[in-house]
Amino acid sequence: MLVHVGLLPLSSSCLPSLPRLPRLSSTKHRTFAMAVVSEDPVREWILSEGNATQITRISPVGGGCINRASHYDTDAGSFFVKTNRSIGPSMFEGEALGLGAMFETGTIRVPKPFKFGPLPTGGSYIIMEFIEFGSRRSNQSVLGRKLAEMHKAGKSEKGFGFEVNNTVGSTPQINTWSSDWIQFYGEHRLGYQLQLALDQYGDSTIYEKGQRLVKSMGPFFDNVVIEPCLLHGDLWSGNISSDKNGEPVILDPACYCKLKWT
């Protein structure tokens, strides 16, 4: 049996043509950013690299519980912005790189990320494409097919893991590269979450039972060849929507290379 581990890509049928993702911009990687941080880096980007000459309206967007979300209307189109006043840029870096990885597969629609970085008074932000959602729920069979296409397109040559650590919600997720799926899943998924639960709640019962599972799960994968590929990483109903044409849209990833059965 052959198993692929990966994330679903954007389906080419959901967009008539997908332009190549522009180079993701981050103040974190710019040498001048350490010297000067704009008082409003979101507005600065929109009015420069975003090609807008004016911002006509800023509207709050509900639905999230971790970040503040806003819809920026401009004369050059719309942008979706998330900010967090207490968490640094690493959280949005993981989201931006995950969105970019899924976008580049050309299989399923995701918001195209444009920029992330620090806020001058603390915290961080991310700017991405604004997608107008439709009133209809996405077709589940189409969603499944496009996810399968993404998994096939998002093969990983580095093994199991991701370019950076990221978060599920605001919970850290470790993505250190590994060539062995059982080791990666046992140590960086089950084991890490068990340790977080032990540290926070102090109950060793679940931790000890979980560790027994980690140490004994190898036989479940006997005679299975596992190959890494791109996964969304946090795919639940709250991170799935549809655009105004009814095409599936997936959001808020915690990407890494994981199992996909074929």
pLDDT, tens only, 48-103: 999 999 999 999 998 888 999 999 999 999 999 999 999 999 999 999 999 999 99
* Per-residue model confidence as pLDDT tens digits over 234-257: 999 999 999 999 999 999 999 998
Same CATH topology for 15-129 and 140-261: the answer is no
The DSSP secondary-structure symbol of 21 reads P
| Closest alpha carbon to 112 in 228, 16, 25 | 25
Q: Give yes or no for residue 27 having a pLDDT over 70.
A: no
The model's pTM: 0.84
Say which of 75, 234, 243, 252 is annotated catalytic: 234
Q: What is the rounded CA–CA span in Å between residue 212 and residue 176?
A: 22
**Strand pairing report for 2-5 and 256-261:** antiparallel
Q: Where are the alpha helices (DSSP H) in the chain?
A: 41-46, 90-105, 140-153, 181-184, 192-201, 204-216
Instruction: Output the pLDDT for position 177.
Output: 96
**Confidence tier at 26 by pLDDT (50, 70, 90):** low
**Average pLDDT over every residue of 228-233:** 95
Multiple choice CATH, 15-129, 1.20.200.10, 3.40.50.720, 3.30.200.20, 3.30.70.3270: 3.30.200.20
**What are the sequence ranges of the domains in the chain?**
15-129, 140-261
* Per-residue model confidence as pLDDT tens digits over 112-167: 999 999 999 999 999 999 999 998 777 999 999 999 999 999 888 889 999 999 99
Q: Give yes or no for residue 8 having a pLDDT over 80.
A: no
Asked if 28 contacts 251 with a C-beta cutoff of 8 angstroms, the reply is: no
Asked if 249 contacts 138 with a C-beta cutoff of 8 angstroms, the reply is: yes
234 is catalytic: yes
CATH of domain 140-261: 3.90.1200.10
Residue-level length of the chain = 262
Cα–Cα distances in Å, from 241 out to 40, 157, 184, 223, 244?
Answer: 30, 30, 30, 37, 10
Q: Give yes or no for residue 25 having a pLDDT over 80.
A: no
Asked if 56 contacts 75 with a C-beta cutoff of 8 angstroms, the reply is: yes
Pick 136 or 190 by higher pLDDT: 190
Instruction: Output the pLDDT for position 215.
Output: 96
The DSSP secondary-structure symbol of 190 reads I
Q: What is the rounded CA–CA span in Å between residue 235 and residue 245?
A: 21
